[in-house]
């Protein structure tokens, strides 16, 4: 019996989780890994404790993450959510379990709509297959056969990668994830039930016991003091990180008696005009309000017929039904104050998912949606669509219009006793959506431009740059100043490309230490992407930059397209990325040797391209949900007069290696270092001083090192002595045999545990002669409000520093162009020459703009050894 139990346990599928909000995890070798909200994670090895090892299904990375930022996903939902390539869409769908359940139970042969292509054009289709597309996968895809006008717009005949799942004509089938589907309302359902499907809140998943919970847009009331207050639901769902408290509602109050601005912790749940008009309450504290009854005995004035023209036949504007005896009487609640409607209240108020509803149901009708200006009838009546949805007894989508002028047959946004939107009396009209057409008084709106496709040599012709096939060395000194200074200099930015622009300019504009990655010959198994990317990098980006001082954004977009095609991490052409994400993917694409080889305590050598610095007090970064900042690392204590928490890169590298037991297996020719930086709310340090010269002699494995006291050959090193201020404070401590014995006989060091270091070549007598192994700083990449710029050392003088910004200016609007700019920054040399103590005593307000950016916003420091780079 126990054997059977063990067998069933072994076969139990691993738990699945979803990242609740955007989160960063730090990997000591790979650096920061960004997990967007909606990332799907599979627990590895049991999954117990406050931190879990999980596999991120979107990227294949295995990371350690805090349990508190994860939402558990039921296995049946996980299989439907997994195929969705966009994490944000997956997150939104996760909070629509009713819709997912309907899709999971939809019978084959059911009619539905499917979104096609990037334009998400809605097409009619029939469900022909539901299940996985390859063996061993749990991901559920939907096979749809297109019909009507959509025939011929598919990409399959019912087969996928050689396997036939159903039969249909060529180009009449698609296989899509659940978020690409839309279900037509059930004809047998009542109006309320049909609307309820669309009203399901996109911001939260209500428990099954909360079927009677109010939907976004509904009116509710609640007791306050001696009476009742009322308002409109703007949010309904679980609070981020507080799901155990049950569902809450955010209410836009009729009267200014509230105290909530629409935010919970760091996440906006809804929009409120003022905190006095907002209130957040548990669902159990509020009651739904019945629709406001139409008063029938007040005659309406007959409008002037010359203004109304020929009124269209409305659906059926019958007298509205009075409230049911089992519902709350509207008259008990305070009346809603009159006044103009805000744009947010006019977006359609039948449910919380109104934008999606408008997109799904208005799509087939010439792209009309909530907010579209339309006309009906002939001669026309003009108005704006305020609501789109289903009404009981009408088999097709209905539009609720707010007319420009009053009409006798119109209402105030109610239909058959149910309010769908609000507008002045005699201006609300309900018509079939297919009877609406765009307002002929205005030109049809242009379709939004695809900025990825727009970035080509034709659209960017006036901003183009030339190809240079000849290998061009970097410029330096005065020549670099003349080449790069000014407007339209450097690399042009486009569509969130600053991470790539700053990285490439830092690496290649004035330095040749990484040129070898452009010159390595291709192998027979490298494939076309590798050679194409190398050619783009060398002949379209680096060589033109060094010869003409400028590169067009269309050149870097071509490289971004290759990176996106080759990488499992989508978004390189349009989304924000970090420099480390770009460099890791670029070097992997080029299949070059790793920049760094680092040996751990167990003598295993690991290879990587960048190294993330970790202060000893924070070997793992804190969760963004933790409010308190991490304690300062035990570096040298700050001066009593210090105003800033400051650390140098030299100290951060030494402490990071010392407390993790790492050594360089070989001296690097180029060393990219990522600065410790934990989130938007706080940073580990107020400023980081980029050391102009980085001494790595004592961080090299299998090399002769000097005793810290007598300069003889070191045979021992002690991590605990690093913080001892009595012996060369702030330096690595290593000793010969005699000095090690003397130092550790002192009573305050008896608990230290020095370790023996190897001496290459056997015993060595006398002092160690030879130069120290040092690397020079040649660039610093900085980030401020998600925008990257770079500081580059362009000459031998201390003042030879320049600042590059790929998006310093802009010409034109949405379809305009960014203007890159390079300017000289000799003033930063003064601050780079200060000591940590001197910098810590400065008033932050006294720092000039470029110096503050360099010292307070450093993201990556780049060091190199020109001599070692020759061997590459």
- Active-site annotation, residues: 498, 787
Token representation of residue 151: 């025939």
SS3 789: strand
- Secondary structure (3-state) at 383: strand
Question: What would the two tokens of residue 403 be?
Answer: 């007319």
CA distances in angstroms from 509 to 339, 413, 501, 524, 603, listed in the order given: 60, 62, 11, 31, 37
For 717, the token pair is 């090193």
Please work out, in degrees rounded to the nearest 5, the angle formed at the alpha carbon of residue 802 by the alpha carbons of 851 and 772: 85
**CA–CA separation, 381 and 360 (whole Å):** 25
Asked if 522 and 531 count as a contact pair (C-beta separation under 8 A), the reply is yes
Give alpha helix (H) positions in 159-214.
191-199
Containing 693, the helix (H) or strand (E) segment is strand 693-695
- The helix-helix angle for 579-590 and 528-535 (nearest 10°) equals 120
Report d(CA 823, CA 359) in Å as an integer.
46
Sheet holding 16-19, edge to edge: 62-66, 51-56, 40-43, 16-19, 70-73
Q: Report the alpha-carbon distance of residue 484 to residue 646 in Å, rounded.
A: 32
**Of residues 471, 500, 491, the one with CA closest to residue 562:** 500
Inter-CA distances, 654 with 611, 621, 658, 832, Å: 12, 18, 6, 19
Q: In this structure, are strands 611-612 and 670-674 parallel, antiparallel, or unpaired?
A: parallel
φ, ψ at 625 (rounded to 5°):
-80, -10
Q: How many CB atoms lie within 10 A of CB 517?
A: 20
Q: For 96-196, list the strands marked E by DSSP.
A: 111-116, 121-131, 141-146, 159-160, 163-164, 173-176, 181-182
> Cα–Cα distance between 477 and 592 in angstroms, integer?
30
Location of structure tokens 């989304």: 575
Q: How many residues in the chain? A: 872
Angle between helices 354-362 and 191-199 (to 10 degrees): 110
CA dihedral 492, 495, 499, 502 (to 10 degrees): 10
| Tokens (6 digits) for 58 | 């979107």
d(CA 293, CA 691): 74
Q: How far apart are CA 832 and CA 812, in angstroms?
A: 38
Instruction: With beta carbons less than 8 A apart as the criterion, state whether 102 and 127 touch.
Output: no
CA dihedral angle for residue 246, residue 250, residue 256, residue 257, rounded to 10 degrees: 0
């Amino acid at each position: 019996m126990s054997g059977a139990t063990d067998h069933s346990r072994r076969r139990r599928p691993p738990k699945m989780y979803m990242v609740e909000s955007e989160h960063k995890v730090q990997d000591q070798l790979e650096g920061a890994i960004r997990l967007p909200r909606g990332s799907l994670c599979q627990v590895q090895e049991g999954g117990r404790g406050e931190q879990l090892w999980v596999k991120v299904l979107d990227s294949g990375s295995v990371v350690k993450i805090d349990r508190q930022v994860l939402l558990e996903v039921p296995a049946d939902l996980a299989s439907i959510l997994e195929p969705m390539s966009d994490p944000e869409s997956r997150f939104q769908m996760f909070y629509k379990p009713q819709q997912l359940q309907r899709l999971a139970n939809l019978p084959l042969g059911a009619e539905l709509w499917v979104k096609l292509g990037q334009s998400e054009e809605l097409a009619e289709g029939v469900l022909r297959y539901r299940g996985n597309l390859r063996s061993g996968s749990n991901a559920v895809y939907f096979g749809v056969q297109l019909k009507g006008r959509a025939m011929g717009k598919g990409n399959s005949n019912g087969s996928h990668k050689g396997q036939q799942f159903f039969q249909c004509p060529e180009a009449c089938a698609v296989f899509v994830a659940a978020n690409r589907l839309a279900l037509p309302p059930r004809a047998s359902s009542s109006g309320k039930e049909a609307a309820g499907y669309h009203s399901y809140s996109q911001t939260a998943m209500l428990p099954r016991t909360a079927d009677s919970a109010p939907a976004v847009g509904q009116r509710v009331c609640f007791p306050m003091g001696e009476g009742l207050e009322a308002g409109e639901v703007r949010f309904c769902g679980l609070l981020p990180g507080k799901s155990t408290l049950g569902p809450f509602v955010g209410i836009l109050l009729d009267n200014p008696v509230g105290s909530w601005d629409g935010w919970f912790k760091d996440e906006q749940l809804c929009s409120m005009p003022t905190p006095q008009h907002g209130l957040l309450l548990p669902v159990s504290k509020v009651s739904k309000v019945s629709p406001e009854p139409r008063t029938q005995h007040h005659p309406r004035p007959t409008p002037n017929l010359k203004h109304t023209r020929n009124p269209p036949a409305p659906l059926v504007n019958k007298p509205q039904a009075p409230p049911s005896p089992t519902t709350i009487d509207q008259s008990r609640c305070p009346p809603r104050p009159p006044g103009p409607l805000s744009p947010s209240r006019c977006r359609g108020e039948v449910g919380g998912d109104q934008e999606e509803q408008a997109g799904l149901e208005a799509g087939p009708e010439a792209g009309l949606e909530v907010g579209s200006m339309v006309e009906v009838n002939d001669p026309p009546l003009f108005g704006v669509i305020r609501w789109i949805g289903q009404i009981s007894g009408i088999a097709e989508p209905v539009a609720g219009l707010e007319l420009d002028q009053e009409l006798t047959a119109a209402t105030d946004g109610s239909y058959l006793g149910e309010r769908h939107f609000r507008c002045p009396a005699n201006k609300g009209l309900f018509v079939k959506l297919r009877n609406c057409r765009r307002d002929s008084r205005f030109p049809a709106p242009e379709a939004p431009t695809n900025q990825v496709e727009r970035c080509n040599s034709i659209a960017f012709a006036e901003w183009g740059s030339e190809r240079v096939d000849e290998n061009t060395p970097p410029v330096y000194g005065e020549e670099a100043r003349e080449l790069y200074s000014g407007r339209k200099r450097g690399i042009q930015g486009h569509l969130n490309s600053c991470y790539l622009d700053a990285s490439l300019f830092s690496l290649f504009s004035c330095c040749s230490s990484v040129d070898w990655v452009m010159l390595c010959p291709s192998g027979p198994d490298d494939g076309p992407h590798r050679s194409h990317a190398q050619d783009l990098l060398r002949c379209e980006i680096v060589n033109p930059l060094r010869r003409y001082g400028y590169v067009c954004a269309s050149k870097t977009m071509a490289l971004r397209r290759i990176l996106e095609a080759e990488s499992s991490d989508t978004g390189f052409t349009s989304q924000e990325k970090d420099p480390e994400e770009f460099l890791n993917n670029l070097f992997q694409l080029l299949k070059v040797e790793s920049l760094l080889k680092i040996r751990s305590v167990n003598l295993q050598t690991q290879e990587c391209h960048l190294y993330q610095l970790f202060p000893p007090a924070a070997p793992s970064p804190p969760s963004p949900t933790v409010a308190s900042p991490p304690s300062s690392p035990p570096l040298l204590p700050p001066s009593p007069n210090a105003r800033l928490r400051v650390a140098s890169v030299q100290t951060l590298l030494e402490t990071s290696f010392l407390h993790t037991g790492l050594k360089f297996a070989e001296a690097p020719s180029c060393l990219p270092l990522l600065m410790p930086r934990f989130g938007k709310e706080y940073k580990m340090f107020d400023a980081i001083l980029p050391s102009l010269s980085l001494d790595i002699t004592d961080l090299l494995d299998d090399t002769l090192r000097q005793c810290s006291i007598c300069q003889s050959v070191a045979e021992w090193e002690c991590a605990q002595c690093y913080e001892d201020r009595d012996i060369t404070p702030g330096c690595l401590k290593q000793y010969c045999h005699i000095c090690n014995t003397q130092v550790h006989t002192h009573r305050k060091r008896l608990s230290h545990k020095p370790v023996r270091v190897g001496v290459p070549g056997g015993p060595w007598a006398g002092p160690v002669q030879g130069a120290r192994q040092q690397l020079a700083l040649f660039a610093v990449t900085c980030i401020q409000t998600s925008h990257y710029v770079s500081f580059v050392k362009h000459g031998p003088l201390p003042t030879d520093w320049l600042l590059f910004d790929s998006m310093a200016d802009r010409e034109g609007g949405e379809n305009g162009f960014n203007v890159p700019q390079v300017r000289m920054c000799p003033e930063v040399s003064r601050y780079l020459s200060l000591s940590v103590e001197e910098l810590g005593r400065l008033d932050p307000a006294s720092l000039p703009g470029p110096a503050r950016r360099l010292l307070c916003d450093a993201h990556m420091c780049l060091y190199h050894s020109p001599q070692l780079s020759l061997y590459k």
